[in-house]
Amino acid sequence: MKILTENQLADRLSTLTGAAMVSIVTATEPKMNVKSRLTKEPNPYMGRVVRTAVRQGMIGASYENAVQSRRVAEGHEAAMAGETFHAAELWNGKGEHVNGSKALVRHKETNRLYLVFYPRQDAEGAVKVTEDVWLCDGEPIDERCLESYLPPRREGAPRQETERPIAWRCIGLESIVSLTGWGDTFTITH
């Protein structure tokens, strides 16, 4: 196991050519609703929850190519007519690829850096997460207790026009705990 600083990880991602299979461990504070979607009660978990997850997938892949391939595989009318899928601007034009890399993007307003990640999906299109631990104040909590306080999950943009949406993630570098790829496992320091 090796140690990479967040800046060293950004440097690696900004110069990545081609795609690579990786496994990442993330620790994130999930987006939560202020009130329950069901009862409208105030959210008692706001700011107290951290989700740690292990995910496998690909970095350096092309979103447009992934969607186009899916459309062709599903026999989408436009794809079969030779039309190519074009992605909308990232974050409504507020995102940019760093050094032209498909693996690293920057939010122009906040200057935050994000790993572009194409997660593995099962046959139904659900994103595969091999380990998933939810903590409230550092103690494990059943995700079902949080369901009504979490926004509804949906994958893929309607623009994809696919039966099985392509999942795509932009993961803040500050959320990455470790990355296994390039023949090694790296602990990321922040």
Please say whether the beta carbons of 55 and 130 come within 8 A.
yes
Domain parsing of the chain, residue ranges: 2-189
Q: Count Cα atoms within 13 angstroms, Cβ side, for 19.
A: 13
| Predicted local distance difference test score (pLDDT) of residue 125 | 84
pLDDT digit string (tens) for the chain, length 190 residues? 899 999 999 999 999 989 999 999 999 999 999 999 999 999 999 999 999 999 999 999 999 999 999 999 999 888 888 888 999 999 999 999 999 899 999 999 999 999 999 999 998 888 999 999 999 999 999 999 999 999 987 777 788 988 888 999 999 999 999 999 989 999 999 9
Distances (CA, A) of 186 to 2, 28, 114, 179: 5, 18, 17, 5
Angle at 112 between CA 161 and CA 61, to 5 degrees: 40
pTM confidence score:
0.90
| Predicted local distance difference test score (pLDDT) of residue 79 | 84
Cβ within 8 Å of residue 124, ≥6 positions away: 164
Residue with tokens 């922040």: 190
| Predicted local distance difference test score (pLDDT) of residue 22 | 97
Angle at 141 between CA 166 and CA 46, to 5 degrees: 80
| CA–CA separation, 50 and 68 (whole Å) | 35
Helix (H, G, I), strand (E, B) or coil at 65: helix
| Predicted local distance difference test score (pLDDT) of residue 143 | 92
Cβ within 8 Å of residue 71, ≥6 positions away: 78, 79, 85, 160, 161, 162
| Predicted local distance difference test score (pLDDT) of residue 123 | 84
Q: Where are the alpha helices (DSSP H) in the chain?
A: 6-14, 63-73, 77-80
Please say whether the beta carbons of 134 and 142 come within 8 A.
yes
Q: Widest CA span of the chain, in angstroms?
A: 54
| Predicted local distance difference test score (pLDDT) of residue 124 | 83
| Predicted local distance difference test score (pLDDT) of residue 126 | 87
Amino acid at 26: T
